[in-house]
Structure 1
């Protein structure tokens, strides 16, 4: 079997309704954007797809396919995912590929393999579980009262924990974290994500408050350029650290965080930011060797599969962006997410696909 075509399909990614925001300094939810689907086909009819839903995705991905990826992939064996994954890293040395595109081909090839074998990808990866608890991962709301009300709604809907994305002000965020712990009591798992908003002194201040409130993990308080800064943070706070979400290098970079003693809870694993399915599984196995967690990042469908395949992950991350909470469709009333059952990875059908592509997604060939 050989790859015979590599295509990019532009799609409209709908705007969030209502719009939401993140901490100060970061953009909020975008308006309608031009997402893209990467489509890889073969001489035997086997096909695989992967979604890139970020704003500007169609322009970025079409340029990379036309200029770099198509020539590299044409004629290749789609089952040689390991070889092609290494080739993407070789290409990155010169082209400096955008991080979300580095694993996109790998994800599409895993989708193709699942369709050919008529298995969901999580089973191809070995399969560890068929259900996992979900936590509610908030966007940023205006007031402490809104955060507390959202937490009440999430717990009533069955979510098993709450993760805060707050304002990016160390003092104000610390007060919110303490208030949430008092509000929900001692038994609800709580997490905090700093979205890289702090320097080391503020990260230490906030980390001490999180330790006092017994938070399960403290995620990405600083930009992940300095492993040394994270090592110093780990030495000064007792709350466990979850790190290496957006830093380049997939498992290679994650190894440095773990070796430095900075990943005291664990590292992030995701198809989008850690080199596709292959990179995410490398990261998980690395973390397991050091007996730390590889927490799956994000709510998209490839990461849904990862949650079922990785032994050392704890939760599915379910984004909650409105003050009136609606439980994500994958999460049941017990707060559980169940394993996908269809072949491959599949794509979400609540995007504005063209009719031809939609038919392909609904009825894989």
Structure 2
């Protein structure tokens, strides 16, 4: 078995609602796509960016990697990951390079499972048990009434967990919005709050203490992810669990969060970890530290990986981001999700997205 074709493409996808967090604002996801084939079997992977230039930069790295991958055995996934990381040792093994590495790793695992005619979770020894899902986005751009309408709609759709954004210039405004949403929701519906690194240490401590009596499910990324000491200080000052990890790169990025007790829940990101290979390593790190995990985005793949993790806690779902990228949405029922039983990751690029793919290498 040898890789005989690699195709790369770029697919912008409009969001259902424009995104605005404390640090991001955009109307589209900009996706770099990769498809790897051997003996008539094909695996697919994707990397998310928030601008056309960034997505095209990932595509250029994917094209560079193609020359190394052609003719190799696609089952040697960890060996190929090590070779690709070595190839970018001079320019850096995070950022754009890591996104490309992750897309390839995902495509290789998808190919490997499809060749065996098994869903990825089963190939990895996982369980098809359903996990609870939280829906979002609760953007800062929403008016208070729009935010309340969205939260109540999510609740009516059967979700038991809803996440909203904070990180406004005035943290008191954030506390007021969170309090109103918490009051509007059924007491049984869990409320998650994400600051997207938008507060300073001083703001985060004041806001977190003011929110601490609301019984939040968690408070996510209250300060800059690089300020691990600040994150740990916030976590130590409140009863509300702090969640973090989506913005760090590689399993190396998780280590400081664990060592400094900066988070009670870790959130490995598929494309920041290095694809399924790195995600599972990050999950094992968390398990050894006695910490639960949730995914960050990429629900189609991440649900298979969470199904293999004893410390899997909850699944993140972002409605309306990839509706036009894959041929079907995730099958969420009663606020829960189980991995697909179709071979590989269980979804394929839609025809219009696949039409952007061009053979490289």
In the superposition, the TM-score normalised over structure 1's length comes to 0.85
SS in 1 for 2:133: strand
> For 2:349 and 2:66, how far apart are their aligned partners in 1?
26
Counterparts in 2 of 1:198 and 1:177: CA distance versus 1, 3 Å: same
CA contact (8 A) 2:194 2:219 kept: yes
The one-character-per-residue Cα deviations of 1:3-33 (angstroms, maximum 9, x if unpaired) are 23332134x333124x3221254212228x5
SS in 2 for 1:106: helix
Residue matched to 1:257: 257
Counterparts in 2 of 1:61 and 1:320: CA distance versus 1, 3 Å: closer
> For 2:153 and 2:28, how far apart are their aligned partners in 1?
25
SS in 2 for 1:191: strand
CA contact (8 A) 2:138 2:151 kept: no
CA contact (8 A) 1:127 1:309 kept: yes
The one-character-per-residue Cα deviations of 1:231-266 (angstroms, maximum 9, x if unpaired) are 222222221111121112x22221221111112x22
Counterparts in 2 of 1:30 and 1:330: CA distance versus 1, 3 Å: closer
**How far did residue 112 of structure 1 move?**
0.8
Q: Structure 1 residue 318 and structure 2 residue 317: aligned?
A: yes
Q: Structure 1 residue 80 and structure 2 residue 68: aligned?
A: no
* Equivalence map 1:221-236=2 (5 Å): 221-236=222-237
> For 1:286 and 1:61, how far apart are their aligned partners in 2?
28
Can you give the 5+ residue segments of structure 1 that lack an aligned partner in the other structure? 323-327, 358-365
SS in 2 for 1:309: coil
CA contact (8 A) 2:9 2:34 kept: yes
> For 1:40 and 1:162, how far apart are their aligned partners in 2?
36
CA contact (8 A) 2:340 2:346 kept: no
Among 36, 39, 42, the alignment partner of 2:32 is 36
Can you give the 5+ residue segments of structure 2 that lack an aligned partner in the other structure? 322-327
Counterparts in 2 of 1:332 and 1:280: CA distance versus 1, 3 Å: closer
The one-character-per-residue Cα deviations of 1:192-215 (angstroms, maximum 9, x if unpaired) are 111111111111122113321111
Report which stretch shifted further, 124-133 or 107-116: 124-133
* Equivalence map 1:1-365=2 (5 Å): 1-10=1-10, 12-17=11-16, 19-30=17-28, 33=30, 35-42=31-38, 44-54=39-49, 55-56=51-52, 59-67=56-64, 69-96=65-92, 97=94, 98=96, 99-140=98-139, 141-166=141-166, 168-169=168-169, 170-248=171-249, 250-263=250-263, 265-320=264-319, 329-350=329-350, 352-354=352-354
> For 1:125 and 1:110, how far apart are their aligned partners in 2?
10
CA contact (8 A) 2:193 2:216 kept: yes
Counterparts in 2 of 1:247 and 1:150: CA distance versus 1, 3 Å: same
Residue matched to 2:325: none
CA contact (8 A) 1:139 1:165 kept: yes
Count how many residue pairs are aligned between Structure 1 and Structure 2: 345
RMSD between aligned residues: 2.6
CA contact (8 A) 1:22 1:167 kept: no
In the superposition, the TM-score normalised over structure 2's length comes to 0.86
CA contact (8 A) 2:293 2:314 kept: no
CA contact (8 A) 2:22 2:197 kept: no
